[in-house]
Structure 1
Amino acid sequence: MSPTSGPDVINGWKIVTTEETVVESYSLETTMTVTTEYSDGTKTQSKTCTTTKKDSSVVTGLTTKQVHSVYGQDISCISKQLNLMLKDNSLAADYLPVDEVSLYTGMLDGILLCAMVNLLQPDTIDLSAVTRRSDLNNCPPENAEQLKIQNRNLGFCLLKPLGVSIDSLKVQEMLEKGCVFALTSILIQVLRLTTIGRMNFKEHEVLVYLFDGWSNPEEAREILATGREEMLLRWVNYQMKQAGTDLEVKEVGKSLADCSIYANLLWAVCPIAKRGALMPIGDVLKPDSFVTRAERVISNASKLNIADVITPQHIAHAGEETDTIAGLHRVSLNAAFLYSIFSSYPNIKVPKMKTPTPSTDADAVVDESLREQLRSWCKRGATEETLIRWLNSFGPSDPVQSIESDLCNGSVLLQ
């Protein structure tokens, strides 16, 4: 029995995957224990799944029941999110739409890993560099397995500088022993990077208008240091003020469970012409059951063409068991849902520029010029792109996406 382990860090969480191998007659039984730890090393919870195989190739006989027994509906929700994000991705075309099983199959083939690279950074991998699914199916099994390994190694190699923490040797060893769920931490990280990770000035310049009362470059640089999750929460609280409510959210957690934030948020961002189709806030919150409320929230979101990428249970139990794998996934899925609402309906008031006069209008123009300076600082060239990839190759707990904003608090440099 030989245990191995190694950490993946996701925004302050350390995901340690440990596997033990037991050889019995002609079968190789592999037990994967996924343990969630805080970054300070305090163990909090573990979960176990078992897969059996009879040869040295990667196990592909995964079933929906097995995925649900370990992760519930989490992977189903991630699959829905990826179907939306990968719909125009040429590398992913052979697998779409993915479900809980085909998602892992595509990652085992290495092709979906490469598709995720191009999702995070378009055109990073040329199609000719990847062995496609049809070619894998038309070659001998032993050759196909080697080609899959090459695809996976290409994906692992290029995901890491884009901010995905991977111990590729450990993951490959575990895959060879049947531990397909060793790929789950990659899914969670890609989900966060493609949702909450895009909550920054570079992706959405309109976020500048969430900040008032600053008037000099020093204050602007402090604004640039705002974390991704903090930016998302600032936007939610901005909408609460616009809606005339004193509700406030301080973290993606318990404050979302009763659906008051979600109900008011969807009403606030909804164009007035579409509000007639929505269930009013009072009706959404009328049931005592948080699950029923969450069902109504998701129904309202669907009426606004906001993707159904979360279950009522994920909302109703937000903030519970945050020291467990299930709790971590709920946080990520709620953050992704909030980002989906934001990306569909930012609803941020952009002040109109006026011709300056000797009075107060001049102050408004100065204020706008500072905002323009802030936006210009968020743009980056090829040299900065290279530096960002180099910094991410060290596996910082918070992936670097902007030199100006992500290095301001010094945590990445200290790591």
Structure 2
Amino acid sequence: MLGFVGILVSDPWLQNQFTQVELRSLKSHFTSMRRESGKLTVSDLASRMGKSKVVGDQNLSNEERASLIQSFHPNLNDEVDFEFYLRIYLNLQAHVNAIIGSGVKNSSAFLKAATTTLLHTISDSEKSSYVAHINNYLSGDEFLNKYLPINPSSNDLFEVAKDGVLLCKLINVAVPGTIDERAINTKSMLNPWERNENHTLCLNSAKAIGCTVVNIGTQDIIEGRRHLVLGVISQIIKIQLLADLNLKKTPQLVELVDDSKDVEELMSLSPEKILLRWMNFQLKKTEYKKTVTNFSSDVKEAEAYTNLLNVLAPEHKNPSKLPAKSPFQRANHVLEHADRMGCRRYLTAKDIVEGSPNLNLAFVAHIFQHRNGLSTKTKHISFLETLADDTQISREEKAFRFWINSFDSSMYINNVFEDLRDGWILLQTIDKVSPGIVNWKIASKPTLLLIDVD
């Protein structure tokens, strides 16, 4: 088995601005442009980039593009090589981003980041939180103990992750038993084939447990592409933190609904929606009248957090009678309250005020794990007793669920019994196994049932 090398450029900084998918696409465009006349000069770039619609064609005219290129490189007769072309591409994209107001502000939103982001940045706050999580949950691992604890202020995380072992171990923490650890190559010096085996194992397993693995491959992990590696780590940790948000592990969640029909609807919700529903359920016990619909703008003022922690742990509420004068001060009070509860983790006051969606979700999920405020006695116990609890059924359901999830992120399911009821994902699965066997013209996609999270 040969290791995949990919497209390499001599400048490491330039290499790190692109994923392999982007490089392959740009290399194809560059080759196509140069093929027209056998060579490509600076004066040719504007018109040929416009024809191939390489960058911002709807936002730049040929004249604007030519003027910008000339300002970057006045000598129009110079021949263009691939690296020069990449630099021109970056400069043009930065100009287009400035026009449309995109910039890099949102480029660290890993769970939903666009794959075309050019200036790849990462959030230091998120990196530090995830490093602290890894240090905590993998501290006892025999192989990784020589690398842990990782310094959260450095980029050591991406060096440690290069051989794939840390990612495999983290997946097993999130969903125990996903990977047979005997299949992980853990020698001190791995050859390229063993390293590639680890990467393939961790990426396939991450996809199976529900991660969206797009535009990342073996070469990206080897090179320590920070925004891609941290994106996968973010999703793995999210899956771990939301693991208890189902009726199997937390039957007390039935307190959120009124009857068995509502219980069935609750079972069909994603873990994030259940977490929001739980948060709003607790907030209804307070004087807080707003409904929280996300883990970003709706919690930036920290008022929802203040009320949530007061109802969950009133014995630890802030003894001060003076109200906080600003969201930042209120956020600090929230974290002090969480610290007294023993669950201050994942975010800072700055992250709350700025509305970091990943870290706020992690914080709320951690609070739920630590103290969910739900009753151990419930009138719905008779319904829960009818749910299958056989170990063999659970093992087989998990195996089939992972298998279906490994096909495509659009087919992701949380539960085989509930999510396959309408047959649509079954049709998609059959079509994946035997392409073309399903006549989609006569298939009818079921209507999406919208459920209020209040």
Given the two structures, how large is their TM-score scaled by the length of structure 1? 0.68
SS in 1 for 2:217: helix
Q: Deviations over 1:237-294 (max 9, x none)?
A: 1211233543431222211010011111111111x5x42xx424864x5122x22322
Aligned CA-pair RMSD? 4.0
Question: What residue identity is the alignment partner of 1:304?
Answer: M
| Matching residue of 2:204 | 157
**Whose Rg is larger?**
2
SS in 2 for 1:248: coil
| Matching residue of 1:325 | none
Answering whether residue 195 of structure 2 is matched by residue 148 of structure 1, we say yes
SS in 1 for 2:409: coil
Q: Which has the higher strand share?
A: 1
| Matching residue of 2:55 | none
CA contact under 8 A between 2:401 and 2:416: conserved in structure 1?
Answer: yes
Question: What residue identity is the alignment partner of 1:156?
Answer: L
Alignment partner for residue 284 of structure 2, among 241, 258, 277?
Answer: 241
| Matching residue of 1:210 | 256
Structure 2 residues not aligned, in runs of 5+:
1-5, 9-18, 28-80, 85-89, 94-103, 429-454
- CA-CA distance at 1:178 after TM superposition: 5.9
| Matching residue of 2:165 | 111
- CA-CA distance at 1:378 after TM superposition: 11
Q: Deviations over 1:71-130 (max 9, x none)?
A: 232211122223333345555434332344232222212111110221133244344433
Q: Deviations over 1:334-364 (max 9, x none)?
A: 1110011111011112337xxxxxxxxxxx5
The verdict on how the C-alpha distance between 1:292 and 1:409 changes in structure 2, with shifts beyond 3 A counting, is farther
Separation in 2, partners of 1:308, 1:379:
36
Question: What residue identity is the alignment partner of 1:351?
Answer: K
Answering whether residue 291 of structure 2 is matched by residue 287 of structure 1, we say no
Q: Give the structure, 1 or 2, with the largest relative contact order (CA under 8 Å, sep 6 or more).
A: 1
- CA-CA distance at 1:374 after TM superposition: 4.8
CA contact under 8 A between 2:122 and 2:227: conserved in structure 1?
Answer: no
1:372-387 → structure 2 map (5 Å cutoff): 372-374=385-387, 376=389, 380-387=393-400
CA contact under 8 A between 1:199 and 1:228: conserved in structure 2?
Answer: yes
CA contact under 8 A between 2:7 and 2:20: conserved in structure 1?
Answer: no
Question: What residue identity is the alignment partner of 1:171?
Answer: G
CA contact under 8 A between 1:91 and 1:112: conserved in structure 2?
Answer: no
Answering whether residue 336 of structure 2 is matched by residue 299 of structure 1, we say yes
CA contact under 8 A between 1:48 and 1:70: conserved in structure 2?
Answer: no
Question: What residue identity is the alignment partner of 1:337?
Answer: F
CA contact under 8 A between 1:306 and 1:341: conserved in structure 2?
Answer: yes
CA contact under 8 A between 2:351 and 2:359: conserved in structure 1?
Answer: yes
Separation in 1, partners of 2:107, 2:408:
18
Q: Deviations over 1:139-185 (max 9, x none)?
A: 4xxx54443333222222322222223258x5223345663433122
Separation in 2, partners of 1:125, 1:165:
18
The verdict on how the C-alpha distance between 1:368 and 1:72 changes in structure 2, with shifts beyond 3 A counting, is closer
Question: What residue identity is the alignment partner of 2:195?
Answer: K
Q: Deviations over 1:283-340 (max 9, x none)?
A: 4x5122x22322221122111110321122221021xxxxxxxxxxx21211110011
Q: Out of 176-185 and 343-352, give the one that drifted further.
A: 176-185
Separation in 1, partners of 2:360, 2:184:
33
Separation in 1, partners of 2:143, 2:169:
5
Please identify runs of 4+ aligned residues in structure 1 that moved more than 6 A. 20-25, 33-38, 41-45
Answering whether residue 115 of structure 2 is matched by residue 76 of structure 1, we say no
- CA-CA distance at 1:408 after TM superposition: 5.6
| Matching residue of 2:407 | 394
Structure 1 residues not aligned, in runs of 5+:
4-14, 26-30, 50-68, 319-329, 353-363
- CA-CA distance at 1:403 after TM superposition: 1.9
